[in-house]
Amino acid sequence: MRNVRFYPSAAITAYAAMVMMAGVPVQASDSDQRIEQAAKSSYNFKTHLKDDHIKVDASDGVVTLTGTVAREYHKFLAQETVAGLPGVKSVNNQLAVVGEQPAEHSDGWITMKVKTVLAFHKNVSASGTEVNTRNGVVTLTGKADNLSQKQLTGEYAKDVDGVTEVRNDLVIAKTSRRTLGDKVDDTSITAQVKSTLLFHKSTSMLATKVSTLNGVVSLNGEAKTAAERDLVTKLVEDIHGVRSVHNRMKVR
């Protein structure tokens, strides 16, 4: 019979290594679960993306998005929302757009973009505004709380790519009741800011870096003029959840 020597110290070391190795996946899994839960409970997923079918899977900080969305920009919004979550290293966006989509620059495409822009801004009534487009001319109908809100809605619609004219037929009637609604998390704010600046034609070409902490948005990058930089501040200040804006963009 062979003599087998048993080394207690070596056995203990090997056992400890096994325990440590076994603990790594558990820790990683906890972190990944927090990422998945944070994405699902984010403001954007519960509001703008609530009717989509998005599955969020995280593995060692790499997030994969699968499922379907109703609009192309929903893919961008979902990706940007997840990308800003703590612990996320990268996002693999495999979301598919389903259903009939309006052709680019068509009247349907313009209507969709106007509705989206209004949905991101808090000082207009997106739900109370009907948008119709014909040959690039946008007609707004519905109700506004006051003259200022009516004018602001028209300004936002006019600044959407493809819009040639806005006919603002909103009726002023103080019938809507505003509520605070859900708290808007920082990563949702950042994603909304990026989407808003992309959708407004006056700011779509700007290279703007966006970060948010406790509702305070910081902007960095370049603007062609001081007026352009001021416009960015105005647009961002009016996004859901934004408490204040620190615009550090430099004028070329």
pLDDT of residue 126: 81
The confidence band for 181, taking pLDDT boundaries of 50, 70 and 90, is low
pLDDT of residue 4: 45
Do the domains at 107-172 and 186-251 have one common CATH topology? yes
Strands 129-134 and 137-144: antiparallel
Give the residue among 208, 219, 142, 151 at the shortest CA–CA distance from 175: 142
pLDDT digits (tens, 9 = 90+) for 193-231: 999 999 898 998 888 999 999 999 999 999 989 999 999
Domain layout of the chain by residue ranges? 9-97, 107-172, 186-251
Strands 216-223 and 208-213: antiparallel
* Helix/strand/coil percentages in the chain, nearest 5: 40, 25, 35
pLDDT of residue 12: 46
User: Is 6 or 28 the better-scoring residue by pLDDT?
Assistant: 28
pLDDT digits (tens, 9 = 90+) for 128-169: 899 999 999 999 999 999 999 999 999 999 999 899 999 999
Q: Is the pLDDT of residue 252 over 90?
A: no
| Interval 60-69 mean pLDDT | 97
CATH class of 107-172: alpha beta
pLDDT digits (tens, 9 = 90+) for 69-107: 999 899 999 999 999 999 999 999 999 999 888 998 899
Residues in the chain: 252
pLDDT digits (tens, 9 = 90+) for 12-56: 455 445 544 454 444 558 999 999 999 999 999 999 999 999 999
Answer CATH for 9-97 from 2.40.30.170, 3.40.50.300, 3.40.50.720, 3.30.1340.30: 3.30.1340.30
pLDDT of residue 232: 95
Distance CA 44, CA 41 (A): 8
Whether pTM > 0.75 for this model: the answer is yes
Architecture of domain 186-251: 2-Layer Sandwich (3.30)
Q: Is the pLDDT of residue 5 over 60?
A: no
- Tokens 């406790």 correspond to what residue? 214
- Do residues 241 and 188 lie in contact, with contact meaning Cβ atoms separated by under 8 Å? yes
